[in-house]
Amino acid sequence: MSVDATVGIVLVSHSAALADGTAALAGQMGGGKVRIATAGGTDDGRLGTSIHKVRRALAEADAGAGVIVLPDLGSSVFTVRALVAQDEPLPEPLEVADAPFVEGAVAAAVAAATGGDVKAVLAAAQEARHARKL
Interaction site with another protein (CB under 8 A): 1, 25, 28-31, 103, 106-107, 110-111, 113-116, 124, 127-128, 131-134
Q: How far is the CB of 73 from another protein (least distance, A)?
A: 20
Closest CA to 11 of 46, 32, 44, 35: 35
Q: Which is nearer to another protein, 66 or 104 (CB)?
A: 104
In DSSP notation, 64-133 reads SS-EEEEE-STHHHHHHHHHHHSSS---SSEEE--S-HHHHHHHHHHHHHTT--HHHHHHHHHHGGG---
Q: How far is the CB of 130 from another protein (least distance, A)?
A: 9
For Cα atoms 73, 120, 94, give the angle at the middle one, nearest 5 degrees. 55
Q: How far is the CB of 68 from another protein (least distance, A)?
A: 15
Q: How far is the CB of 113 from another protein (least distance, A)?
A: 5
48, 63 in Cβ contact below 8 A?
no
Q: Which is nearer to another protein, 58 or 121 (CB)?
A: 121
Q: Which is nearer to another protein, 28 or 86 (CB)?
A: 28
DSSP 7: P
Q: Which is nearer to another protein, 29 or 59 (CB)?
A: 29
